[in-house]
Amino acid sequence: VDKIKEFEEQKAAAIQKMATDKKMKALTTEWFNASCTHNYSYNYTWMGRPIIQYPQDIVAMQEIIWQVKPDLIIETGIAHGGSLILYASLLQLNGGQGEVLGIDIEIKPHNLQAIQSHPMFEKISLIEGSSIDDSIAEKVRQFASDKKSILVVLDSNHTHEHVLRELELYSSLVTKDSYLVVYDTVVEDMDENAFPNRPWGKGDNPKTAVHEFLKNNSRFEIDKNIQDKLQITVAPDGYLKCIK
């Protein structure tokens, strides 16, 4: 037991030191900006489905899902379905309990077909509609009503207004000691014109929404340890732990 404790303490100290390493931070920012110009987040699949994530965040989600052992994972923003398949597969590895609910404003027919024919589909349910539509939020609440441990991931439209509304609608579903994960907060830290064809950018993105949300909500706190150890992440200040 002492050896395990020693290992954890050494790790925590190394992460703390790394978190204050300004040179590494600058390199990471430079690398991250460059990676976006190559659409790096589109490079991966999980069990055959495209997943629009950086590998570091995939590992972080694995650690969270193992730790929390949720019986429901809700994600807004499905795209090709890779992240839903990821969560379902991790729940399966964790003992088979739990299910995944995905919401997307448009589930493209080829993606729907591929998700429905995937071996992990038995753990997945899908809702088509806007995540900030009250009737969709009500369906999600119904689905979650008998669940005891809930994790929520927001990865749909990345404007301030949209994410803030999602936070208002879905944060109350997150259970104590679980997480509310808000993706693409990194937009705030990126080059001014990184997304010329998107409605979001500096000053109007998931991070500005998280900061506004946290001004009036004491149930959540930013788990800085996650971003400190990942360094490369799309979710700085986006891993929110539910503390009460």
* b/e 9-40 (16+ beta carbons within 10 angstroms → b): eeeeeebeeeeeeeeeeeebbeebeeebeeee
Torsion angle, CA of 191/233/104/167, rounded to 10 degrees?
-90
Instruction: Considering the complex, state which of residue 59 and residue 218 has its C-beta at the smaller distance from ligand SAM.
Output: 59
DSSP characters over 143-192: HHTT-SSEEEEE-S--SHHHHHHHHHHHGGGSPTT-EEEETTGGGGGS-T
Which residues here bind ligand SAM, judged by CB under 6 A?
A: 51-53, 75-80, 82-83, 103-106, 130-132, 155-157
Instruction: Considering the complex, state which of residue 131 and residue 233 has its C-beta at the smaller distance from ligand SAM.
Output: 131
In the complex, least distance from residue 10 CB atom to ligand SAM, rounded to whole angstroms = 33
Instruction: Considering the complex, state which of residue 83 and residue 231 has its C-beta at the smaller distance from ligand SAM.
Output: 83
List Cβ neighbours of 12 (8 Å cut-off, separation of 6 or more): 225
Cβ–Cβ under 8 Å, residues 203 and 176 = no
In the complex, least distance from residue 228 CB atom to ligand SAM, rounded to whole angstroms = 22
In the complex, least distance from residue 220 CB atom to ligand SAM, rounded to whole angstroms = 20
In the complex, least distance from residue 52 CB atom to ligand SAM, rounded to whole angstroms = 4
Angle at which helix 55-68 crosses helix 82-93, to 10 degrees, equals 40
Instruction: Considering the complex, state which of residue 198 and residue 219 has its C-beta at the smaller distance from ligand SAM.
Output: 198
In the complex, least distance from residue 47 CB atom to ligand SAM, rounded to whole angstroms = 12
What gap in Å lies between CA 91 and CA 85, rounded to an integer? 10
Instruction: Considering the complex, state which of residue 19 and residue 164 has its C-beta at the smaller distance from ligand SAM.
Output: 164
In the complex, least distance from residue 17 CB atom to ligand SAM, rounded to whole angstroms = 31
Instruction: Considering the complex, state which of residue 31 and residue 42 has its C-beta at the smaller distance from ligand SAM.
Output: 42
